[in-house]
Homo-oligomer: A and B are copies of this chain.
Amino acid sequence: MGGDFGPHVTVPAALAVLSEQSDLRLILVGDQGTLEQELAKHPGDAGGRLVLHHASQQVAMNEAPSSALRGKKDSSMRVAINLVREGAASACVSAGNTGALMAISRFVLKTLPGIERPAIVSTIPSMTGHTHMLDLGANVDSSAEHLFQFAIMGSVLASAVDSVPRPSVGLLNIGEEEIKGNERVKEAARMLEESDINYAGFVEGDDIYKGTVDVVVCDGFVGNVALKTSEGVARMITQFMREEFMRNPVTKLAAAVSKPVLNALKERIDPRKYNGASFIGLQGIVIKSHGGADVLSFSTAIREAVLEVEKDVPRLIGSQLEALFMNRGSA
């Protein structure tokens, strides 16, 4: 039900992915009446693979996570995550309030043994394909141990969804000569060097987009700033490009001639193709779609959930962590 546009987006996106994937079943959780009304606008038959599940409440986009957690036991978000815990659903996809989704996910699903807080990981376009980056905002002031755990989780996820046996992992750092990073990052580097992870060393901000490594690991404050900054730069360049092409009749002609090229460029960096951040480190799969997602964008988030279900990502991460803790115990 969530996101800025609600069922107008989520319902057609669900139908679109159902039509692509014949063994997929989806449960739409929300106000039954509203969902039925929206479904009526889209004639067709999902062959019984689309089920509605009523929830009487909704978490507002600006609601405090604590209020959503305590006060809204029948919110669509809470009910959907309950379905995951009960095994009635294999994953939850939501475009709603990030903080509330995180709080409810942690409370209902619990984290994997050894994980204190889940991390947020997303796929980011790069010159050579894409980069997985975490944490993107769930944890601030992450310790070396946290960064190390992010590296394990990111490595397992990247390996599973990209089918890469040993993804390379870089630690985000700064290269100013006098400083060369902070103590937590240096300590995490030492831990990674001694681990089984394919650790590639420190990377800097521009390496995210160069595609230097498969996985970039950082504190959530840093990752969130990097992501938002990137969006800002891309938007500014796009805006400047539009202004320059619209400047006068001659440039407008150039714009018309270049339209196919500009469309190809636009498609290549289209953030909708990268929508769907994973809450990783939970005993279950939760995918957070951008709140302003459109149908194409929300479909991407659903596909990400399907992929993680097929690969059984939480179980893979769980066994990696178990092996790690057993090694430490015996050391």
- Contact yes or no, A178 B236, CB < 8 A: no
**Residue A52 at the B interface, CB < 8 A?**
no
- Contact yes or no, B178 A99, CB < 8 A: yes
- Contact yes or no, A232 B258, CB < 8 A: no
Interface centre among A127, A175, A206, A234 (most CB of B within 10 A): A206
Residue of chain B at shortest CB distance from A234: B233
State the number of copies, please. Answer: 2
In the assembled complex, how far is the CB of residue A145 from the closest CB belonging to chain B, in whole angstroms? 17
In the assembled complex, how far is the CB of residue A2 from the closest CB belonging to chain B, in whole angstroms? 13
In the assembled complex, how far is the CB of residue A144 from the closest CB belonging to chain B, in whole angstroms? 13
Residues of B within 8 A of A115 (CB): none
Q: What mask results when residues 124 to 139 of chain A are scored 1 for a CB within 8 Å of chain B, else 0?
A: 0111000000000111
Q: What mask results when residues 217 to 241 of chain A are scored 1 for a CB within 8 Å of chain B, else 0?
A: 0101110111111111111110111
- Cα distance, A258 to B247, chains bound together (Å): 12
- Contact yes or no, B176 A138, CB < 8 A: yes
- Contact yes or no, A264 B236, CB < 8 A: no
**Residue A45 at the B interface, CB < 8 A?**
no
**Choice from B99, B177, B245, B265 contacting A177 with Cβ under 8 Å:** B99
- Contact yes or no, B98 A177, CB < 8 A: yes
- Contact yes or no, A172 B99, CB < 8 A: no
**Residue A324 at the B interface, CB < 8 A?**
no
In the assembled complex, how far is the CB of residue A105 from the closest CB belonging to chain B, in whole angstroms? 11
**Residue A253 at the B interface, CB < 8 A?**
yes
Stretch of A13-21, A152-160, A207-215 at the chain-chain interface: A207-215
